[in-house]
A and B are shown apart, each in its own frame.
Chain A
Amino acid sequence: MAYKATKNPTTDLRERLFLPELLRGLAITTRHFLRNLFNPRDTNVHVVDRKGPNLVSTVSYPEEKTPYPPGYRGLHRLVPRDDGKPRCVACYMCATICPAQCIYIEAGEYETTDPSSESRVIEKYPTQFVIDELRCIVCGLCVDACPKDAIRMDTGLHTPSEYNRSGFVWDIPKLLQGPAVSHASDPWNKRASSATPPHQHHEPHTRIGEGLVPLKLPTGEQQKRTEVTDQAIPVTRFLKD
């Protein structure tokens, strides 16, 4: 044998006889069985709040759905601009970072004479932006990598089921959804066309010494700081009782 069972000195006659323990075990399972058989199930989606003699803790999806926690990484969406086109500039950052290689992009260029004033000042846009939601591992790195806040996972949905694989390949029409987002730094908020602005004469200036941005510390320094904050939390808090 791989190991030798030690005789626990605390075992009494009941345990060594084995049969009473078997009966007690059966009594426990039968008690659960009868409680669950004769009593209606509490369907509260917050399982820890369930009351009543029925002990079933199942959340019977999809009739009952546990609410997703805040920050849940759901289905991707391409964030639209105010004029309804995607904010994406086809920089391929998401496709580069994606560990599952599930994002496919093809880039195009807006004309300088585009009727949309937002598009006119944007050079690059995705003609194809395809995510294979079957290959996606929902790591959220694409959202972190995006420099333009153009892809988010804030839909609160998960990938719906489909009857064939092609249904899981989401392209721009399916991905482009949700409220439009605009930032002050967006080019269409700064200029009207790609040409040199006609009369621009305000001194770009710095005030040396004021508002000096601290240098980014090497990683070792930052770690040291983090450790200090961690120590501020008393370890004994977790050892109560």
Chain B
Amino acid sequence: MKALEVIIAIGVILGAIFGLSALAYALGGWIEAGFPFFGHRLVESGLPGWAWVSNMLILVLGFVMLIATFLTLAERKWSAMIQDRIGPNRATIDLPGLRGRPLGGVFHVATDALKMLTKEDFRPKVADALLFNLGPILAFAPVLALFAVVPVGPQVTVFGQRVGLQVANPDFGMLWVFAIASLAVYGTSLAGWASNNKFALLGGVRASSQMISYEVALGLGLVGVMMAFSSVRLPELIQGQTTHLWGGTVELPRLGAVNLGIPAWGLFLQPVGFIVFFAAAFAETKRAPFDVPEGESEIIGYFVEYSGMKFGLFMISEFAEVVILAAITTAIFLGGWNIGFGFDSTLTRALTQANLGWLLGAIYATVFWIKALLLCYLQLAIRWTFPRFRYDQIQSLGWKILLPIALANIFITGALILVDPSLRSLAVLGFVEIGFVLALTLRRPEPAGHEADDAHLPADAHGHAPPPLPGAAAASHH
């Protein structure tokens, strides 16, 4: 029964995403077509190019903020499940039908928001008022601006107009991401400095140094993909990933020609670039294991003096960064809305013929968000799996590991693209790398190893195996 409830809940979430995407397409088309209404148009010539208004509202304020908000709950609930706890389940609403039903703790989102909004907005007397107030604004605004260049759905025809789910598609594409992402650190370091608190200042300084260290690897990690698809515009990167590396068209009955080839996803071409970019971007979100700027056990962090919604802005911007990182990674490395394995051509053909452009777009956008949500889960799971790096470990990881690897990756990628412009040799190298890591991961460790694999746990231990007695461990060696 629980599994059914979970599947229903997932269905509800996907349905909501689908509905919101469809609404975005419909609204965009409606605006571009000049608000058609019972055969009449409010604007005769339409408003070509004005769909960015609805896209901005629905993508940034709708998708990003809603997902970020619910991620605050997810962080608590998922971490509870990872750690064999229950998690938030106390808030209920006293309405018929909802009475006494916590619904997985979903109302805690509302209570948290209410708490943030109603708490005293405290400012230390010695803090600089202007800079203190500017801190959360500067931390929050760039994060939302980042999302402007991320394409969520393809260009489809709605109300006779070509509409895509992207706020803006400038020529500089990825460079916008790099530029704006580095701006976010101004908010944190400003908050740390303006608080007039030594611990806050420490947090701000740590954030700045971490940002500088990983900015390099962040950029270099993406160079390979840019070289492979010869563009920095995200829609073109996605379009490039929909091409097939191998395999050809197969004629299937009732479905027509279906391409069952392997898509050229960035992950297959650039697994090393993926790891470097993901690690660097993760460091920029300042989440565990890269959370030394926060470091609640040592310095509490750059927001130590903030309370109420100002602190809330810092927190929500962190989760918005999680969403945006997931979206950008999806677009660059996971093929964006591409489904692959023959579905794309069939779907596109069928729905374009039926003139259901909005439906096609909504399906693709849902696929995009499914991938992004899985990456969100990955980020949360990483936060609850790995302990915090020490500060020197962070710096050596950034400068001494990620940077050389990224540079080497660029040279090798460049050489392979030069040799084989069809990207197939690059893909072969990628598959070899992925296979090598997977083989190492799945290989059983040697039984005499010093680690206690959980495969050795007794079957009836319910996951709570007692630690081996010292005497027992010693006896097993002899």
Contacts and interface: CB of A to CB of B under 8 A. Distances in A.
A37 to B, nearest CB: 6
A118 B78 CA distance: 64
A22 B389 CA distance: 13
Give the interface centre of A1, A13, A38 by most chain B CB atoms within 10 Å. Answer: A38
30 contacts: A1-B392, A8-B450, A10-B449, A10-B450, A14-B443, A14-B445, A19-B437, A20-B441, A22-B385, A22-B386, A23-B441, A25-B386, A26-B385, A28-B385, A29-B381, A32-B83, A33-B81, A33-B82, A36-B81, A37-B6, A37-B81, A38-B2, A38-B3, A40-B1, A40-B2, A55-B463, A56-B81, A56-B84, A56-B86, A60-B86
Interface of chain A: mostly helix, strand, loop or mixed: helix
Interface string A14-54: 10010110111110111011001111110000000011000
Interface residues of B, number: 36
Nearest to B439: A20
A96 interface: no
Nearest to B471: A239
Interface string B368-408: 00000000001001101110000010000000000000000
B440 A13 contact: yes
A22 B86 CA distance: 25
B40 interface: no
Interface in A132-185: none
B381 A33 contact: yes
B437 A20 contact: yes
Nearest to A28: B454
A14 B440 contact: yes
Contacts of A210: none
A37 B89 CA distance: 14
Contact of B6 (A26, A30, A38, A50): A38
B469 interface: yes
B464 interface: yes
Contacts, number: 82
Interface string B81-109: 11111100100000000000000000000
Contacts of A40: 1-2
A58 B86 contact: yes
A57 interface: yes
The 5 closest A-B pairs by CB, nearest first: A20-B441, A36-B81, A20-B440, A40-B2, A55-B463
A142 B275 CA distance: 64
A241 interface: yes
Interface in B437-475: 437, 440-441, 443, 445-446, 449-450, 454, 462-464, 469, 471-472, 475
A241 B269 CA distance: 53
Nearest to B384: A29
Nearest to B472: A241
B301 to A, nearest CB: 22
Interface of B: 1-3, 6, 78, 81-86, 89, 275, 378, 381-382, 384-386, 392, 437, 440-441, 443, 445-446, 449-450, 454, 462-464, 469, 471-472, 475
A32 B384 CA distance: 12
Contacts of B384: 29
Contact of B385 (A19, A25, A36, A37): A25
Contact of B462 (A13, A14, A55): A55
Contact of A41 (B86, B462, B464): B86
Given A32-B81, A57-B464, A241-B472, A39 B437 contact: no
Contact of B441 (A24, A30, A57): A24
- Which of B78, B84, B386, B454 has most chain A Cβ within 10 Å? B84
B459 to A, nearest CB: 12
A56 B463 CA distance: 10
B268 to A, nearest CB: 17
Contacts of A14: 440-441, 443, 445
Contacts of A23: 437, 441
Contacts of A57: 84, 464
A41 B462 CA distance: 13
A24 B472 CA distance: 26
A22 B438 CA distance: 12
Nearest to B9: A37
A32 B463 contact: yes
Contacts of A25: 385-386
Interface hub of B82, B386, B450, B464 (most chain A Cβ within 10 A): B82
Contact of B85 (A1, A17, A58): A58
Given A8-B450, A55-B463, 13 more contacts: A14-B441, A14-B443, A19-B275, A19-B441, A20-B441, A23-B441, A33-B82, A36-B82, A51-B462, A56-B84, A60-B86, A239-B471, A241-B472
Contacts of B386: 22, 25
Nearest to B90: A60
Nearest to B392: A1
B437 A26 contact: no
B102 to A, nearest CB: 11
A60 B2 CA distance: 18
Contacts of B449: 10
A119 B65 CA distance: 73
Contact of A26 (B84, B378, B469): B378
Contact of A30 (B1, B381, B475): B381
A56 B85 contact: yes
Contacts of A33: 78, 81-82, 381
A94 B86 CA distance: 42
A29 B89 CA distance: 21
A63 to B, nearest CB: 10
A14 B392 CA distance: 23
A58 B469 CA distance: 25
